[in-house]
Amino acid sequence: MSNDDMEPRTVAECQQRTDWPKWKQAIQVELDSLAKRSVFGPVAPTPPNVKPVGHKWVFVRKRDENNEIVRYKARLVAQGFSQRPGIDYEETYSPVMDVITFRYLISLVVSEKLNMQLMDVVTAYLYGDLDTEIYMKVPEGLKLPESSSSRPRNTFSIKLRRSLYGLKQSGRMWYNRLSEYLIGLGYVNNDLCPCVFIKKSTSGYAIIAVYVDDMNLIGTSKELIETAEILKKEFEMKDLGKTRYCLGLQIEHRKDGILVHQSNYTQKVLRRFSHHDVKSSPTPMIVRTLDINKDPFRPKGDDEEILSPECSYLGAIGALLYLAQCTRPDISFAVNCLARHSIAPTRRHWNGIKDIFRYLKDPHKGRSQSGYVFTIGNTAISWRSRKQTLVATSTNHSELIALYEATRECVWLQAFIGHIRSTCELSHDPDEPIVIYEDNTAVIDQAKHGYIKGDATKHISPKLFFTHQQQEHQKIEVKHIGSESNHADLFTKSLPKYSFQKHVKAIGLRKLSELP
């Protein structure tokens, strides 16, 4: 990569680049914004017994859904790592919208034929009020008092009047500021989804889904116009129009629905690891053997060498985990298997990574694999593939563990979806149980009758029969499904090409070439 293809790390690096005029303008825009928000107090000698925090310039080029540069952005951030707990900050937690919530809201837009637009808060963190006194070293661009020009610059500091990017509590201060404003205007949220604010009116409703400074407005036309105006009155906002890119997801609005994908990110990953021009593969993982000694995904052997640093195994795993979590459930099982060997990867494991890359171009230690997928309108919104933390003593035991984990997710989804639909006064039957399909008849019987202590079950934790309790309360209903039709197999085992492609299609995944 050429130097101009990488983000600069310092002002000096910016000055040496061909695009320096654009970075210079971005720096000035940031300084003007800080002045407009009255973030800084006057420059003054550092008070006794005060340790000012440092600062750093961060530079980034914002891109659109087509990976085109749309804006040069410079941000002055505080070096929060030097803050002291109990002195410079107290609480730091700030909720953010997760991708499962976002996928459900997209499905709601489709099913209820709603509008969806994206708004961005300009310098959001600068609106937060600090809960402690914090001083910062004087950054470049701010002058010292003329009467003190003979004193060293490092003896001066500035008191922060507002929260600043980089401070440990900044995210919390911004969320508190926004939350208090919206709730004061009649918007409702709760602990199930603290970043989703809803307001119902006589003619419709508006939903504000918050991810730090990005706000997705979802709802009926009149209410969205009013909501946008309310936000603009209090904060400096950018109206980005119909949502096309958010949380790293590309969103395409089509006549028959909404397509969510990460094709640009996928291509970027393939280029990063030099797999953009390899031959494609129909599945992300070869069919595995039951012989542990022949399994290519077994742990490192004593006679094998750990992969050299030239192969960025951890970097590849991180990139693939992000894809698997956001838009590619079809690679979840394969990535989960390979992620277990991050401490001691071998050439065998790297070959497994390359198999996933080729696919994207188009039981050890006695533990089993849990996997589940929840769909709305035949499209997956929540899924998981993970190694079980317990050593199952039988197939029945491992199935109970998997059903227990799926039930926990189901209970949260049911409450979360129920809150949104009831608040918006959308059709919703809170007493209608959610169906969970299970392919093991013995486990279905146990989920129906509950925990019975006997030789076959006395070692099994009663908590795993949480499913039985939820079924008794008619929150869920466990039904049988044939193994060949169980889409959760995508998340628990490697599959031959035909079965794999059948399940992938059944949960709503499509190739761009298949769409009209």
Instruction: Say how many CA atoms lie within 13 Å of 469 toward its Cβ.
Output: 9
Token pair in block for residue 83: 């803050």
* pLDDT at 14 exceeding the cut of 70: yes
C-beta neighbour count of 80 within 10 angstroms? 19
The confidence band for 1, taking pLDDT boundaries of 50, 70 and 90, is very low
pLDDT attached to residue 363: 42
Predicted confidence band at 368 (pLDDT cuts at 50, 70, 90)? low
Residue with tokens 């608040």: 423
Nearest to 509, CA basis, from 332, 371, 336, 354: 332
pLDDT-derived band at 365 (thresholds 50, 70, 90) equals very low
Could you read off the pLDDT of 422-474 as tens digits, one per residue? 999 998 888 888 999 998 888 888 788 775 555 555 656 777 778 888 888 88
Kindly state the average pLDDT of the residues 474-484: 89
pLDDT at 364 over 50: no
Query: Which of the four pLDDT bands, split at 50, 70 and 90, describes residue 131?
Result: confident
Q: Please answer whether residues 357 and 273 qualify as being in contact, where contact means their C-beta atoms are separated by less than 8 angstroms.
A: yes
> At 178, phi and psi to the nearest 5?
-65, -45
Burial (CB < 10 A; 0-12, 13-18, 19+), residue 43, is: middle
Structural tokens at position 271? 């280029």
Q: Report the percentage of the chain scoring pLDDT > 70.
A: 92
What's the distance, CA 161 to chain centroid?
31
Residue 152: predicted pLDDT: 84
- Average pLDDT in the 85-102 region? 90
pLDDT (mean) for 96-100: 92
Token digits of residue 493: 């085992």
Residue of 29, 56, 28 lying closest to 137 (CA atoms): 56
Instruction: Give the Cα separation of 9 and 152 in Å (integer).
Output: 26
Distance separating alpha carbons of residues 497 and 275, to the nearest angstrom: 21
User: For the chain, first and last CA: distance in Å?
Assistant: 37
Q: What is the pLDDT of residues 146-176, one digit of tens each?
A: 776 678 888 899 999 999 999 999 999 999 9
pLDDT digits (tens, 9 = 90+) for 183-242: 999 999 988 899 999 999 999 999 999 999 999 999 999 999 999 999 999 999 999 999
Helix 395-423 vs helix 99-112: crossing angle, to nearest 10: 60
* Average pLDDT of the residues of the chain: 87
